Amino acid sequence: MSRILLKIMFLAGIAACMITAGYAGEIKRSITLDESKMLTLAENGAAQFEIVVPESSGNVAKYAAQELQTFLEKTIGGKIGIVSSPTPGKTVLLIGDNELTRKLGVDVKSLPRDGFIIKSIGNTIVIAGRDDPAKKTDEQFTSGIWGQLYERGTLFGAYDFMERFAGVRFYFPGELGTIIQKKSSLKIPSVDIVDCPDYAARSYSTYDGKWPGQKNSTDYYDKNKIACRYRMQTEYIPNCHGLRDLDYLERFGKTHPEYFAMMDNGKRYCDPGMQFPGQLCYSSGIREEIYKDAEAFLTGKPVESRIPGKKVWPPSGYQKGYFNTMPQDGLYFCRCPECKKHFSGGDQATSEFLWETTIATALKLKQNKIPGYVTMMAYTFYAPVIRQDIPDNVLVMVAELGPWGEANVTTQQRDNKEIQDWTKKLGHKVWLWNYAGKYASLNIPGIPTSTPRAIGNYYKSLSPYITGAFLQSKTDLFTFNHLNYYVFGKVCWNNSTDVDKILNEYYLLMYGPAAEPMKKFFERIEYLWINKIIKKVMSTSEGPIVAPPSEYEIWEKIYSPQEIASLTAMLDHAEKLAAKDADALKRIKYMRNDFLDLLAKQRGPMPMQKMILRVWYLA
């Protein structure tokens, strides 16, 4: 057989969060597949290999081996053994960082965080990455978001192996959302892969949205597991209203009321019963307190040295090496003469003024030779790029509407320019906080928000400027967002991902002979949400807010009887085409129930009908 060598090299990008998330300078993705050297893993439904996990590999690798066993057994239809040492002469999947992989010359220490190696060496295929030796993955899935922040490169490598060579796909939790392509024979080429994510920041609102298998609101297992299979981030860099969590009102409300924003009546914003209590006066001595907190945290002092009675530094704002100086939410403009002088000058003057606290804190830390980073978000009134120099120990996250702004061309161009300008100002990339969820005025139950094309294309287009994003994706039903998350994960991992290709593959693998009408259905759902619901966007102290159409317009003009009938016809056609494909038919019915039936139920009687009935009743 002639030698066929496929070698793909991708440049992954540089800087900012890459420094902070285990990245070091320029990283290259390297994928070499040599089809002149094929290795047989299964023949006639019988495994021709074993999975080897030495005890020293650790718990993450053991879980990776179990995942490989589960899904590869389903793929080939035969049993696969897991052993702790290889059988002489047998083909082996060797899992994790251990003495055997190191003897074969596989070194994971140089990998960036979340990266992995898949490498053929004779009749051995190594799958290994950097793992946290203390974590038991299956147990971690039962905990909250902080329990998911640990290294698991080997597990990510196992998922890549199954997707690349066995055709397994993880679209959403459970049997219907998992694709197994049965193959009684399985051969793979000689492989040499070094892979790592292009974006260090890869996260979404993990726990929002009802899920059928969820026992209660704190049953996180399935949602954590699918986020892991989407290969979401394993490190969190705090950057969300950090000053809110330092208890300044409790600490200084009585002793230093001047630290808090002055109101129009001359009183200070010190009442705990007020909305967003504890708004600060940034012209006051609070700036020195902020610095002292930063110094204490970054030098490892106990939280009680600064905040009596508190046991731990708040994890949402303070992770090892990072101190967040983002102001309280619902920013209140202090009316004291000094603050008013800045706040009355418009957004640019407001931004310059509020960034002074971050810059002063960072500079003083550098002067005192204290290592670590100060994080700050460019958000609402302090989003405009400032003229002042920014120290290199400041990391910036930029808050923009994001992929759902696609139809608002002028607004999205302005937002994208702001991202580009921050990157230029800093000399390195930023990461994003985006809003693709049903929050505030968009909390409209029953309307599906599947917008994978907008999400995929948005994060691809910004790859020269960002190191990833948090997708604030609040929803009433997890299924609405499953394609959003799948595409988000793929593009964040590899910015060269062909969004149309993976969507077309989804329609084909999930719905078989009904791929075309299901594609039309999902594309119509996306069009309606992006182009009809997300129309008017306003900037507020709590971030960008969408002013949706009126209830009448939503139910009479957008999701009208004619529109519901059209969507119904698409699914009817899909079910007819899939009548002889039991799995595809189940999935179509599942989507009908979650997307169309729920939408029709939420629509209910027409608003005009309701009005007529009410007038008749009152008469």
Nearest to 564 by CA among 533, 531, 604: 604
CATH of the domain spanning 5-197: 3.30.379.10
Return the residue matching tokens 């460019």: 378
pLDDT at 441: 83
pLDDT, position 308: 92
455-477, pLDDT tens digit by residue?
999 999 999 999 999 999 999 99
Residue with tokens 């609101």: 217
pLDDT of residue 1: 29
- What's residue 454's pLDDT? 98
Closest CA to 385 of 465, 457, 304: 465
Q: 116-121 and 124-129: which strand pairing?
A: antiparallel
pLDDT (0 to 100) of residue 3: 34
**Predicted local distance difference test score (pLDDT) of residue 547:** 80
Residue 540 has a pLDDT of 62
Q: Are 265 and 291 in contact (CB under 8 A)?
A: no
Question: In this predicted structure, what is the pLDDT of residue 343?
Answer: 96
- Residue 439, pLDDT score: 86
Contact 87, 54 (CB under 8 A): no
Q: What is the pLDDT of residue 94?
A: 98
Q: Which residues contact 397 (CB under 8 A, 6 or more apart)?
A: 237, 239, 375, 376, 377, 378, 430, 431, 432, 433
DSSP notation for 461-523: HTTTTEEEEEEE---SBGGGGHHHHHHHHHHHH-TT--HHHHHHHHHHHHHGGGHHHHHHHHH
Q: Is 394 helix (H, G, I), strand (E, B) or coil?
A: strand
Residues in the chain where the model's pLDDT stays below 50: 1-26, 606-619
Amino acid letter, residue 565: A
Instruction: State the sign of the Cα–Cα–Cα–Cα dihedral 505, 509, 512, 517.
Output: negative
Residue 16 pLDDT: 34
Domain regions of the chain by residue span = 5-197, 240-374, 531-618
Number of residues assigned to the chain: 619
The set of residues, in sequence order, having a beta carbon less than 8 Å from that of 610 and lying 6+ positions away, is: none
Q: Give the per-residue pLDDT at 428.
A: 96
